Amino acid sequence: MAPTVAAPDAKPHTRKAVGLAARDTSGRLAPLTITRRSTGDDDVAIKILYCGICHSDLHSIKNDWHITMYPIVPGHEIAGVITEVGQNVTKFKAGDRVGVGCMVNSCQSCDRCNEGFENHCPGIIFTYNSVDHDGTVTYGGYSSNVVVNERFVVRFPDAMPLDKGAPLLCAGITVYSPMKYHGLDSPGKHVGVLGLGGLGHVAVKFAKAFGMKVTVISSSPGKKQEALEQLGADAFVISKNADEMKAAMGSMDGIINTVSANIPVAPLMCLLKPNGKMIMVGLPEKPLEIRPFDLILGNKSLTGSCIGGMRDTQEMIDLAAKHGVTADVEVVGADYVNTAMERLAKADVRYRFVIDIGNTLKDAE
Ligand code: NAP
Ligand code: ZN
Ligand code: ZN
């Protein structure tokens, strides 16, 4: 990624923060003092209190996608409180409870931005590992504070707790958006949720809030009981169990594929009804193997979905608050983050780690 030329009105990076950074492909995270720009006219400064650990953070620190710029400070499920606002800021004031997801900027003027789909803007700036308009590399939410243009900040509804709500900023919008845009949001539909991790468990909760039938398709038999009893799934299919897979054939209108590893998708396409869709949100690095037959028989589609726009993100968190949808979290201290990453790699978390930044990561002096 080539650094861009600094914008003429670029603010100096005078605000210090402490981040948890990986320096190389070992992915080991350790404290690093970083700087943030001083609050610009359209910016808000946020004291970060919680940050979720998304599997994309793990992919990124390990350089799975071959695009990582070290040192990297990951984190794009940020929840905190505003400490300062710029003079043009109209939506927020100091003290507001807010969140930041996967984007911190875009061109803000193209058709996609104007339609509310900043996530599809060619000038999108991701929360970390992107080169911002001022030429600096962005650092994410495993850090004590952040400065963000107000357009990319979401208001936390009063009823939404910061710790259990933080994961909605990525996991929530990433599953909500394809449900909304692929017609998987109404009673009578049957959705399959493939992979019961951070994204998957929120997908189950939204699907139940929409009144749909939900089947979890999982590689972990140990998750069955809680999926059915605690998350409210209607059925649980173990992907390696041929009999269970056969019984579920041709039954689903859509499958949201959240699996972070390379797995064969062709057998899973058989679970779809004619005209059914598999929507990829999981991001393993290697290409998918699929034959035209797997799509053509039954007019099936394989498609993808990338996070969601800012308008939809606010809509999602408001709706989540209304329906009581929050993430099931294991809140951990900053010194646990490397262990958390090891456990996440083994799908050993119910269902999202959230770092208690406010209490365990001291801000820079
Ligand atoms: P996660 O919490 O680790 O969940 C992934 C789940 O996939 C695991 O819990 C596991 O579920 C299943 N899985 C993992 N390894 C597997 C294997 N070898 N074989 C079969 N199943 C396996 O991850 P996450 O945070 O939900 O993220 C999931 C993926 O979505 C990641 O690749 C991430 O980068 C991507 N992502 C994409 C977007 C987007 O905009 N499209 C946004 C956020 C994240 P079971 O135990 O139930 O099998
Ligand atoms: Zn994420
Ligand atoms: Zn744009």
Task: List alpha helices for the chain, DSSP H.
Answer: 55-61, 111-114, 162-165, 171-181, 198-209, 224-229, 242-247, 266-269, 292-296, 310-323, 337-345, 357-360
Find out whether the beta carbon of 260 lies less than 6 Å from any atom of ligand 1. Answer: yes
Strands 78-85 and 154-155: unpaired
Find out whether the beta carbon of 261 lies less than 6 Å from any atom of ligand 1. Answer: yes
Interval 216-269: pLDDT, tens? 999 999 999 999 999 999 999 999 999 999 999 999 999 999 999 999 999 999
Answer whether residue 1 shows pLDDT above 80.
Answer: no
For a substitution probing ligand 1, which of 258, 288, 346, 348 has the most ligand atoms within 8 Å of its CB? 258
Look at ligand 1, atom 9, and give the residue with the nearest C-alpha: 197
| Mean pLDDT over each residue of the chain, to the nearest integer | 96
Choosing among 1.10.510.10, 3.30.1330.10, 3.40.50.720, 2.60.40.420, the CATH entry for 171-304 is: 3.40.50.720
pLDDT band, residue 304 (cuts 50/70/90):
very high
| Averaged pLDDT, 20-47 | 97
For a substitution probing ligand 1, which of 77, 259, 279, 351 has the most ligand atoms within 8 Å of its CB? 259
Which sequence spans correspond to the domains of the chain? Answer: 4-170+327-360, 171-304
Interval 41-91: pLDDT, tens? 999 999 999 999 999 999 999 999 999 999 999 999 999 999 999 999 999
User: Which atom of ligand 1 lies at the shortest distance from residue 260's CA?
Assistant: 32
User: Which atom of ligand 1 lies at the shortest distance from residue 196's CA?
Assistant: 47
Interval 144-170: pLDDT, tens? 999 999 999 999 999 999 999 999 999
Interval 337-351: pLDDT, tens? 999 999 999 999 999
273, 274, 275: which is closest to 251 by C-alpha? Answer: 273
Instruction: Note the pLDDT of residue 2.
Output: 41
Q: Which CATH number applies to 4-170+327-360?
A: 3.90.180.10
In whole angstroms, what is the distance from residue 161 CA to residue 164 CA? 6
Look at ligand 1, atom 17, and give the residue with the nearest C-alpha: 261
Instruction: Note the pLDDT of residue 364.
Output: 73
